Structure 1
Amino acid sequence: MSTQIVILAAGMGSRLGRSLPKPLTELSDGRTIMQQQFDNIHAAFGADAKVTIVVGYKLEHIVEAFPDADFVYNEEYDQTNTSKSLLRALRAGGSGGTLWMNGDVVFDPEALRRAAKLVARDQSFVTVNTAKVSDEEVKYTTDAEGFIKELSKTVKGGLGEAVGINYIASHQKAALVRQLARVGDQDYFERGLELAIEQDGVRIEPVDISDLYAVEVDFAEDLERANLFV
Structure 2
Amino acid sequence: MTTQIVILAAGMGSRLGRSLPKPLTELSDGRSIMQQQFDNIHQAFGADVNVTIVVGYKLEHIVEAFPDASYVYNERYDQTNTSKSLLRALQASKDGGVLWMNGDVVFDPEALVRAGDLVAADRSFVSVNTAKVSDEEVKYTTDANGHIKELSKTVVGGLGEAVGINFVARDDKAALIRHLQKVADQDYFERGIELAIEQDGLRFTPVDISDLYAVEIDFAEDLERANLFV
- The reply on whether 1:228 has 2:222 as its aligned counterpart is no
Q: Distance in 1 between matches of 2:96 and 2:182?
A: 22
* Aligned equivalent of 1:82: 82
TM value normalised by structure 2: 1.00
Aligned residues: 230
* Aligned equivalent of 2:207: 207
Report the alpha carbon displacement of residue 174 of structure 1 after superposing the two structures with TM. Answer: 0.1
Q: Distance in 2 between matches of 1:147 and 1:3?
A: 23
Q: Distance in 1 between matches of 2:170 and 2:7?
A: 18
Q: Distance in 1 between matches of 2:95 and 2:149?
A: 26
CA contact (8 A) 1:2 1:97 kept: no
Output the aligned Cα RMSD. 0.4
The superposition leaves residues 174-196 of structure 1 with CA deviations (integer Å, 9 ceiling, x where unpaired) of: 00000000000000000000000
Report the alpha carbon displacement of residue 3 of structure 1 after superposing the two structures with TM. Answer: 2.5
CA contact (8 A) 2:33 2:103 kept: yes
Report the alpha carbon displacement of residue 37 of structure 1 after superposing the two structures with TM. Answer: 0.1
* Residue identity matched to 1:192: G
Q: Distance in 2 between matches of 1:36 and 1:18?
A: 18
TM value normalised by structure 1: 1.00
* Aligned equivalent of 1:114: 114
* Aligned equivalent of 1:41: 41
* Residue identity matched to 1:28: S
For the residue of structure 1 that corresponds to 2:86, the secondary structure is: helix
* Aligned equivalent of 1:155: 155
Fraction of identical pairs, as percent: 84
Report the alpha carbon displacement of residue 4 of structure 1 after superposing the two structures with TM. Answer: 1.4
Contiguous gaps of at least 5 residues in structure 2: none
Contiguous gaps of at least 5 residues in structure 1: none
Report the alpha carbon displacement of residue 2 of structure 1 after superposing the two structures with TM. Answer: 2.9
For the residue of structure 2 that corresponds to 1:180, the secondary structure is: helix
For the residue of structure 2 that corresponds to 1:198, the secondary structure is: helix
- The reply on whether 1:164 has 2:149 as its aligned counterpart is no
CA contact (8 A) 2:8 2:102 kept: yes
Q: Distance in 2 between matches of 1:130 and 1:219?
A: 22
* Aligned equivalent of 1:24: 24
Q: Distance in 2 between matches of 1:209 and 1:178?
A: 29
